[in-house]
Amino acid sequence: MKEIVVWAEQKENRLQPVSLELLEKARELSDQINGSVVAVLMGHQCRPQADELIHYGASRVFCVDDPCLSFYQSDLYPKILARILSDISPEIVLIGGTTIGMDLAPRVAAKLRTGLTAHCVNLNIETIDGKDQLIQVVPGWGGNMLVKIICPERRPQMATVRPGVMEMGKPDKNRRGVVIPVAAGVSEKDIKSKTIEFIRDSSEDISIEEADIIVSGGFGLDSAGGFALIEELARAIRGEVAGTRPAFDQGYIPEFRMIGQSGRTVKPRLFISVGASGAIHYTTGFSKSKVIVGIDKNPKAPIFDMADLGIVGDLRKIIPCLIEEFKKEDPQK
Ligand SMILES: Cc1cc2nc3c(=O)[nH]c(=O)nc-3n(C[C@H](O)[C@H](O)[C@H](O)COP(=O)(O)OP(=O)(O)OC[C@H]3O[C@@H](n4cnc5c(N)ncnc54)[C@H](O)[C@@H]3O)c2cc1C
Protein backbone atom coordinates (compact mmCIF):
# COMPACT_ATOMS: atom_id res chain seq x y z
CA MET A 1 0.00 0.00 0.00
CA LYS A 2 1.42 3.38 -1.01
CA GLU A 3 1.25 5.79 1.87
CA ILE A 4 0.86 9.54 1.90
CA VAL A 5 2.04 11.08 5.14
CA VAL A 6 0.83 14.42 6.46
CA TRP A 7 2.84 15.96 9.24
CA ALA A 8 0.20 17.22 11.65
CA GLU A 9 1.36 20.48 13.15
CA GLN A 10 -0.16 21.46 16.47
CA LYS A 11 0.38 24.49 18.68
CA GLU A 12 -0.70 24.38 22.30
CA ASN A 13 -2.47 21.14 21.39
CA ARG A 14 -4.56 22.74 18.67
CA LEU A 15 -4.13 21.31 15.19
CA GLN A 16 -3.09 23.93 12.68
CA PRO A 17 -5.67 24.33 9.87
CA VAL A 18 -3.02 23.76 7.20
CA SER A 19 -2.56 20.17 8.41
CA LEU A 20 -6.28 19.51 7.98
CA GLU A 21 -6.17 21.10 4.53
CA LEU A 22 -3.31 18.77 3.63
CA LEU A 23 -5.21 15.75 4.91
CA GLU A 24 -8.01 16.52 2.45
CA LYS A 25 -5.48 16.86 -0.39
CA ALA A 26 -3.80 13.62 0.72
CA ARG A 27 -7.18 11.84 0.59
CA GLU A 28 -7.68 13.04 -2.98
CA LEU A 29 -4.16 11.95 -4.02
CA SER A 30 -4.47 8.59 -2.26
CA ASP A 31 -7.57 7.80 -4.36
CA GLN A 32 -5.44 8.30 -7.47
CA ILE A 33 -2.65 5.96 -6.36
CA ASN A 34 -4.82 3.53 -4.44
CA GLY A 35 -2.95 4.47 -1.30
CA SER A 36 -3.71 5.36 2.29
CA VAL A 37 -3.38 8.51 4.37
CA VAL A 38 -1.17 8.55 7.43
CA ALA A 39 -0.61 11.41 9.87
CA VAL A 40 2.36 11.95 12.17
CA LEU A 41 1.57 13.94 15.31
CA MET A 42 4.12 15.11 17.87
CA GLY A 43 3.70 17.02 21.09
CA HIS A 44 2.92 16.58 24.75
CA GLN A 45 -0.51 15.33 25.83
CA CYS A 46 -1.55 15.47 22.18
CA ARG A 47 -3.44 12.15 22.02
CA PRO A 48 -6.91 13.82 21.56
CA GLN A 49 -5.67 15.47 18.36
CA ALA A 50 -4.96 12.01 16.93
CA ASP A 51 -8.71 11.26 16.91
CA GLU A 52 -9.37 14.57 15.21
CA LEU A 53 -6.89 13.63 12.48
CA ILE A 54 -8.81 10.40 11.90
CA HIS A 55 -12.06 12.37 11.60
CA TYR A 56 -10.38 14.47 8.91
CA GLY A 57 -9.25 11.46 6.91
CA ALA A 58 -6.11 9.78 8.35
CA SER A 59 -6.41 6.00 8.50
CA ARG A 60 -3.37 5.69 10.76
CA VAL A 61 -1.85 8.24 13.13
CA PHE A 62 1.66 7.86 14.53
CA CYS A 63 1.47 9.73 17.82
CA VAL A 64 4.67 10.76 19.61
CA ASP A 65 3.70 12.12 23.01
CA ASP A 66 6.60 13.27 25.17
CA PRO A 67 7.27 16.22 27.54
CA CYS A 68 10.39 17.05 25.45
CA LEU A 69 8.09 17.81 22.52
CA SER A 70 5.75 20.34 24.13
CA PHE A 71 7.39 23.07 21.99
CA TYR A 72 8.77 22.61 18.49
CA GLN A 73 12.49 21.88 18.79
CA SER A 74 14.66 22.03 15.66
CA ASP A 75 16.95 19.30 16.99
CA LEU A 76 14.30 16.80 17.96
CA TYR A 77 11.32 17.04 15.65
CA PRO A 78 13.21 16.45 12.35
CA LYS A 79 15.11 13.56 13.91
CA ILE A 80 11.95 11.80 15.09
CA LEU A 81 9.97 12.47 11.91
CA ALA A 82 12.83 11.23 9.69
CA ARG A 83 13.04 8.04 11.79
CA ILE A 84 9.31 7.35 11.46
CA LEU A 85 9.39 8.04 7.72
CA SER A 86 12.37 5.71 7.26
CA ASP A 87 10.38 2.97 8.99
CA ILE A 88 7.22 3.33 6.90
CA SER A 89 8.81 4.35 3.55
CA PRO A 90 5.91 6.48 2.27
CA GLU A 91 5.46 7.64 -1.32
CA ILE A 92 4.64 11.22 -0.44
CA VAL A 93 5.12 13.51 2.57
CA LEU A 94 3.17 16.77 2.90
CA ILE A 95 4.11 19.48 5.40
CA GLY A 96 2.43 22.84 6.04
CA GLY A 97 4.56 25.77 4.86
CA THR A 98 4.36 27.49 8.24
CA THR A 99 7.33 28.96 10.10
CA ILE A 100 7.76 25.61 11.84
CA GLY A 101 7.10 23.57 8.69
CA MET A 102 9.72 25.59 6.83
CA ASP A 103 12.27 24.70 9.51
CA LEU A 104 11.26 21.04 9.69
CA ALA A 105 10.77 20.04 6.04
CA PRO A 106 14.26 20.73 4.62
CA ARG A 107 15.94 19.13 7.64
CA VAL A 108 13.87 15.96 7.16
CA ALA A 109 14.41 15.93 3.37
CA ALA A 110 18.16 16.21 3.94
CA LYS A 111 18.14 13.38 6.47
CA LEU A 112 16.20 11.17 4.01
CA ARG A 113 18.33 12.31 1.06
CA THR A 114 15.29 13.14 -1.00
CA GLY A 115 13.93 16.20 -2.81
CA LEU A 116 11.60 18.85 -1.40
CA THR A 117 9.45 21.33 -3.29
CA ALA A 118 8.59 24.37 -1.20
CA HIS A 119 5.31 26.29 -1.25
CA CYS A 120 3.40 24.32 -3.87
CA VAL A 121 0.23 25.94 -5.17
CA ASN A 122 -1.17 22.66 -6.48
CA LEU A 123 -0.46 18.93 -6.24
CA ASN A 124 -1.69 16.09 -8.40
CA ILE A 125 -0.62 12.70 -9.73
CA GLU A 126 0.50 11.92 -13.28
CA THR A 127 1.84 8.66 -14.65
CA ILE A 128 5.26 9.29 -16.20
CA ASP A 129 7.23 6.38 -17.74
CA GLY A 130 4.79 3.99 -16.10
CA LYS A 131 5.38 5.39 -12.63
CA ASP A 132 2.98 7.51 -10.54
CA GLN A 133 4.66 10.84 -9.89
CA LEU A 134 3.58 13.65 -7.61
CA ILE A 135 3.28 16.77 -9.76
CA GLN A 136 4.29 19.68 -7.57
CA VAL A 137 3.18 22.98 -9.05
CA VAL A 138 5.00 26.18 -8.07
CA PRO A 139 5.37 29.63 -9.63
CA GLY A 140 8.78 29.73 -11.33
CA TRP A 141 11.17 31.80 -13.39
CA GLY A 142 10.45 35.18 -11.86
CA GLY A 143 6.85 34.24 -11.16
CA ASN A 144 5.66 34.58 -14.72
CA MET A 145 4.69 30.94 -15.19
CA LEU A 146 3.62 27.88 -13.25
CA VAL A 147 6.22 25.13 -13.19
CA LYS A 148 5.68 21.40 -12.56
CA ILE A 149 8.34 19.73 -10.45
CA ILE A 150 8.76 15.97 -9.99
CA CYS A 151 11.06 13.90 -7.85
CA PRO A 152 11.50 10.86 -10.14
CA GLU A 153 14.33 8.95 -8.46
CA ARG A 154 14.01 9.36 -4.73
CA ARG A 155 11.26 8.55 -2.25
CA PRO A 156 9.43 10.02 -0.44
CA GLN A 157 8.37 12.89 -2.66
CA MET A 158 8.18 15.84 -0.27
CA ALA A 159 6.27 19.09 -0.60
CA THR A 160 5.27 22.04 1.55
CA VAL A 161 2.06 24.00 1.01
CA ARG A 162 1.21 27.37 2.55
CA PRO A 163 -1.86 27.67 4.79
CA GLY A 164 -5.08 28.46 2.94
CA VAL A 165 -3.93 27.20 -0.46
CA MET A 166 -5.85 23.88 -0.27
CA GLU A 167 -9.48 23.42 0.77
CA MET A 168 -10.18 21.86 4.16
CA GLY A 169 -12.50 18.83 4.17
CA LYS A 170 -15.33 18.20 6.59
CA PRO A 171 -14.65 16.04 9.66
CA ASP A 172 -16.58 12.79 9.94
CA LYS A 173 -16.79 11.44 13.48
CA ASN A 174 -17.76 8.01 12.14
CA ARG A 175 -14.40 7.55 10.41
CA ARG A 176 -12.33 4.84 12.04
CA GLY A 177 -8.56 4.64 12.16
CA VAL A 178 -5.66 3.36 14.22
CA VAL A 179 -3.53 5.43 16.58
CA ILE A 180 -0.02 4.05 16.94
CA PRO A 181 1.92 5.37 19.95
CA VAL A 182 5.61 5.89 19.13
CA ALA A 183 8.35 6.48 21.71
CA ALA A 184 10.21 9.75 21.15
CA GLY A 185 13.53 7.97 21.76
CA VAL A 186 15.17 11.30 22.62
CA SER A 187 15.87 13.19 25.78
CA GLU A 188 16.70 16.70 26.96
CA LYS A 189 20.39 16.06 26.30
CA ASP A 190 19.66 15.72 22.57
CA ILE A 191 18.56 19.36 22.50
CA LYS A 192 21.38 21.70 21.48
CA SER A 193 19.27 24.84 21.14
CA LYS A 194 16.02 24.95 23.02
CA THR A 195 12.75 26.81 22.46
CA ILE A 196 11.63 27.79 25.93
CA GLU A 197 8.68 30.04 25.22
CA PHE A 198 6.55 31.48 22.44
CA ILE A 199 5.72 35.17 22.93
CA ARG A 200 2.66 36.22 21.03
CA ASP A 201 2.98 39.32 18.84
CA SER A 202 -0.23 41.19 19.67
CA SER A 203 -0.19 42.97 16.28
CA GLU A 204 -0.88 39.56 14.74
CA ASP A 205 -4.24 39.41 16.52
CA ILE A 206 -5.69 40.81 13.31
CA SER A 207 -6.33 37.89 11.02
CA ILE A 208 -5.76 39.12 7.50
CA GLU A 209 -7.23 35.80 6.26
CA GLU A 210 -10.61 36.73 7.74
CA ALA A 211 -10.78 40.25 6.28
CA ASP A 212 -13.75 40.97 4.04
CA ILE A 213 -12.01 43.80 2.18
CA ILE A 214 -8.25 44.07 1.56
CA VAL A 215 -6.29 46.93 0.02
CA SER A 216 -2.89 45.63 -0.96
CA GLY A 217 0.05 47.75 -2.07
CA GLY A 218 3.14 46.95 -4.07
CA PHE A 219 6.48 48.53 -4.81
CA GLY A 220 4.66 51.20 -6.85
CA LEU A 221 3.71 52.85 -3.54
CA ASP A 222 7.36 53.87 -3.27
CA SER A 223 6.53 56.63 -5.75
CA ALA A 224 4.06 57.98 -3.16
CA GLY A 225 6.65 57.82 -0.37
CA GLY A 226 5.04 54.83 1.37
CA PHE A 227 1.75 53.29 2.36
CA ALA A 228 -0.09 56.35 3.80
CA LEU A 229 -2.38 56.60 0.76
CA ILE A 230 -3.57 53.02 0.82
CA GLU A 231 -3.89 53.04 4.61
CA GLU A 232 -6.30 55.94 4.17
CA LEU A 233 -8.11 54.12 1.36
CA ALA A 234 -8.43 51.02 3.54
CA ARG A 235 -9.86 53.11 6.40
CA ALA A 236 -12.37 54.70 4.03
CA ILE A 237 -13.77 51.31 2.99
CA ARG A 238 -13.24 49.52 6.33
CA GLY A 239 -10.64 47.22 4.83
CA GLU A 240 -7.33 45.74 5.97
CA VAL A 241 -3.96 46.76 4.52
CA ALA A 242 -1.72 44.15 2.94
CA GLY A 243 1.13 44.15 0.44
CA THR A 244 3.64 42.41 -1.78
CA ARG A 245 7.05 41.09 -0.83
CA PRO A 246 8.86 44.28 -1.96
CA ALA A 247 6.42 46.27 0.22
CA PHE A 248 7.42 44.07 3.16
CA ASP A 249 11.12 44.39 2.24
CA GLN A 250 10.73 48.19 2.23
CA GLY A 251 9.26 47.99 5.75
CA TYR A 252 5.82 49.26 4.70
CA ILE A 253 3.99 46.24 6.14
CA PRO A 254 4.76 43.59 8.77
CA GLU A 255 5.35 40.07 7.49
CA PHE A 256 1.92 38.77 8.49
CA ARG A 257 0.35 41.21 6.03
CA MET A 258 2.40 39.98 3.08
CA ILE A 259 0.28 38.23 0.44
CA GLY A 260 1.49 35.47 -1.85
CA GLN A 261 3.28 32.19 -2.19
CA SER A 262 5.60 32.90 0.72
CA GLY A 263 3.04 35.08 2.51
CA ARG A 264 -0.63 34.73 3.36
CA THR A 265 -3.43 33.30 1.23
CA VAL A 266 -6.65 35.30 1.41
CA LYS A 267 -10.14 35.07 -0.12
CA PRO A 268 -11.88 38.37 0.69
CA ARG A 269 -15.05 39.69 -0.93
CA LEU A 270 -13.03 42.58 -2.39
CA PHE A 271 -9.28 42.70 -3.06
CA ILE A 272 -7.83 45.97 -4.36
CA SER A 273 -4.26 45.72 -5.60
CA VAL A 274 -2.41 49.01 -6.02
CA GLY A 275 0.98 49.53 -7.66
CA ALA A 276 1.80 45.82 -7.83
CA SER A 277 2.73 44.26 -11.15
CA GLY A 278 0.95 40.93 -10.53
CA ALA A 279 3.70 38.27 -10.41
CA ILE A 280 2.31 34.75 -9.87
CA HIS A 281 4.17 34.56 -6.55
CA TYR A 282 1.88 37.40 -5.41
CA THR A 283 -1.42 36.66 -7.23
CA THR A 284 -1.48 33.07 -6.02
CA GLY A 285 -2.19 34.49 -2.56
CA PHE A 286 -5.50 36.15 -3.50
CA SER A 287 -6.68 34.53 -6.76
CA LYS A 288 -9.78 33.10 -5.05
CA SER A 289 -11.04 36.56 -3.96
CA LYS A 290 -14.59 37.30 -5.07
CA VAL A 291 -13.83 40.61 -6.83
CA ILE A 292 -10.32 41.77 -7.73
CA VAL A 293 -9.53 45.37 -8.66
CA GLY A 294 -6.10 46.20 -10.11
CA ILE A 295 -4.62 49.72 -10.17
CA ASP A 296 -1.31 50.21 -11.96
CA LYS A 297 0.24 52.72 -14.32
CA ASN A 298 1.50 50.01 -16.69
CA PRO A 299 -1.39 48.83 -18.94
CA LYS A 300 0.57 45.63 -19.70
CA ALA A 301 1.04 44.69 -16.03
CA PRO A 302 -0.06 41.03 -15.49
CA ILE A 303 -2.38 42.14 -12.68
CA PHE A 304 -4.85 43.20 -15.38
CA ASP A 305 -5.01 39.62 -16.74
CA MET A 306 -6.73 38.47 -13.56
CA ALA A 307 -8.47 41.63 -12.29
CA ASP A 308 -12.26 41.87 -12.63
CA LEU A 309 -11.82 45.63 -12.88
CA GLY A 310 -8.64 47.43 -13.94
CA ILE A 311 -7.72 51.09 -13.55
CA VAL A 312 -4.66 52.22 -15.51
CA GLY A 313 -2.98 55.35 -14.22
CA ASP A 314 -0.84 56.96 -11.58
CA LEU A 315 -1.87 55.79 -8.12
CA ARG A 316 -0.95 59.21 -6.71
CA LYS A 317 -3.86 60.65 -8.68
CA ILE A 318 -6.28 57.71 -8.57
CA ILE A 319 -6.19 56.85 -4.86
CA PRO A 320 -6.99 60.38 -3.55
CA CYS A 321 -10.00 60.50 -5.95
CA LEU A 322 -11.23 57.13 -4.66
CA ILE A 323 -10.78 58.20 -1.03
CA GLU A 324 -12.74 61.39 -1.69
CA GLU A 325 -15.59 59.45 -3.31
CA PHE A 326 -15.73 56.81 -0.56
CA LYS A 327 -15.71 59.52 2.12
CA LYS A 328 -18.77 61.08 0.47
CA GLU A 329 -20.50 57.72 0.97
CA ASP A 330 -19.42 57.48 4.61
CA PRO A 331 -18.43 60.93 6.00
CA GLN A 332 -17.55 59.32 9.38
CA LYS A 333 -14.37 57.91 7.83
C1 LIG B 1 10.35 31.89 -4.40
C2 LIG B 1 9.72 33.26 -4.48
C3 LIG B 1 8.65 33.54 -3.64
C4 LIG B 1 8.04 34.80 -3.71
N5 LIG B 1 6.98 35.03 -2.89
C6 LIG B 1 6.33 36.20 -2.99
C7 LIG B 1 5.17 36.46 -2.20
O8 LIG B 1 4.74 35.66 -1.38
N9 LIG B 1 4.55 37.64 -2.35
C10 LIG B 1 4.99 38.60 -3.26
O11 LIG B 1 4.37 39.67 -3.36
N12 LIG B 1 6.09 38.38 -3.98
C13 LIG B 1 6.77 37.22 -3.88
N14 LIG B 1 7.88 37.02 -4.64
C15 LIG B 1 8.36 38.13 -5.50
C16 LIG B 1 7.55 38.24 -6.78
O17 LIG B 1 8.09 37.38 -7.78
C18 LIG B 1 7.56 39.67 -7.34
O19 LIG B 1 8.90 40.08 -7.49
C20 LIG B 1 6.81 40.67 -6.46
O21 LIG B 1 5.49 40.22 -6.20
C22 LIG B 1 6.74 42.03 -7.16
O23 LIG B 1 6.20 42.94 -6.26
P24 LIG B 1 5.56 44.29 -6.73
O25 LIG B 1 4.47 44.00 -7.68
O26 LIG B 1 5.24 45.07 -5.50
O27 LIG B 1 6.76 45.05 -7.45
P28 LIG B 1 7.02 45.31 -8.98
O29 LIG B 1 6.98 44.05 -9.76
O30 LIG B 1 8.24 46.15 -9.03
O31 LIG B 1 5.75 46.16 -9.43
C32 LIG B 1 5.55 47.51 -9.10
C33 LIG B 1 4.38 48.00 -9.92
O34 LIG B 1 4.07 49.33 -9.53
C35 LIG B 1 3.69 50.06 -10.69
N36 LIG B 1 3.87 51.47 -10.37
C37 LIG B 1 5.02 52.13 -10.08
N38 LIG B 1 4.75 53.43 -9.81
C39 LIG B 1 3.42 53.59 -9.95
C40 LIG B 1 2.53 54.69 -9.81
N41 LIG B 1 2.97 55.92 -9.45
N42 LIG B 1 1.21 54.49 -10.04
C43 LIG B 1 0.72 53.27 -10.40
N44 LIG B 1 1.53 52.18 -10.54
C45 LIG B 1 2.84 52.34 -10.31
C46 LIG B 1 4.60 49.53 -11.80
O47 LIG B 1 4.02 49.77 -13.06
C48 LIG B 1 4.67 48.05 -11.44
O49 LIG B 1 3.69 47.29 -12.13
C50 LIG B 1 8.53 35.79 -4.59
C51 LIG B 1 9.61 35.50 -5.42
C52 LIG B 1 10.20 34.26 -5.36
C53 LIG B 1 11.37 33.97 -6.28
Q: Where are the domains of the chain?
A: 3-190, 203-329
Q: What whole-number distance in Å separates Cα of residue 147 and Cα of residue 19?
A: 24
Residue 123 burial class via C-beta count within 10 angstroms: exposed 0-12, middle 13-18, buried 19 and up = buried
Q: How large is the C-alpha radius of gyration of the chain?
A: 22
Atom of ligand 1 nearest to the CA of 219: 26
Whole-angstrom CA distances from 333 to 235, 327, 329 are 7, 6, 9
- CB-CB contact of 280 with 145 (8 Å): yes
Atom of ligand 1 nearest to the CA of 316: 41
Give the architecture-level CATH label for domain 3-190: 3-Layer(aba) Sandwich (3.40)
- CB-CB contact of 123 with 161 (8 Å): yes
Give 217 Cα–ligand 1 centroid separation in angstroms.
9
- Are the folds of 3-190 and 203-329 the same? yes
Pocket test for ligand 1, best of 146, 229, 297 (most atoms within 8 A of CB): 297
Q: Which of 249, 250, 239, 223 is nearest to 273 (CA)?
A: 239
Give 188 Cα–ligand 1 centroid separation in angstroms.
45
Which fold does the domain 203-329 belong to in CATH? Rossmann fold (3.40.50)
Per-position pLDDT tens, the chain of length 333 = 899 999 999 998 999 999 999 999 999 999 999 999 999 999 999 999 999 999 999 999 999 999 999 999 999 999 999 999 999 999 999 999 999 999 999 999 999 999 999 999 999 999 999 999 999 999 887 767 889 999 999 999 999 999 888 999 999 999 999 999 999 998 878 888 888 887 877 666 678 988 999 999 999 999 999 999 999 999 999 999 999 999 999 999 998 999 998 889 999 999 999 999 999 999 999 999 999 999 999 999 999 999 999 999 999 999 999 999 998 877 665
pLDDT at residue 51, rounded to an integer: 97
Ligand 1: which residue has its CA nearest to atom 18? 279
Atom of ligand 1 nearest to the CA of 275: 34
Q: What whole-number distance in Å separates Cα of residue 43 and Cα of residue 69?
A: 5
Ligand 1: which residue has its CA nearest to atom 2? 281
Q: Which of 309, 268, 260 is nearest to 285 (CA)?
A: 260
Strands 3-8 and 92-96 turn out to be parallel
Q: What whole-number distance in Å separates Cα of residue 297 and Cα of residue 276?
A: 10
Residues with CB under 6 A from ligand 1: 143, 218-220, 223, 244-247, 258-263, 275-277, 279, 281-282, 296-298, 301, 314-316
pLDDT at residue 191, rounded to an integer: 83
Beta bridge mates, 125: 134
Ligand 1: which residue has its CA nearest to atom 29? 277
Give 319 Cα–ligand 1 centroid separation in angstroms.
18
- CB-CB contact of 64 with 80 (8 Å): yes
Residue type, 277: S
Vertex 294, ends 289 and 297: CA angle to 5°? 165
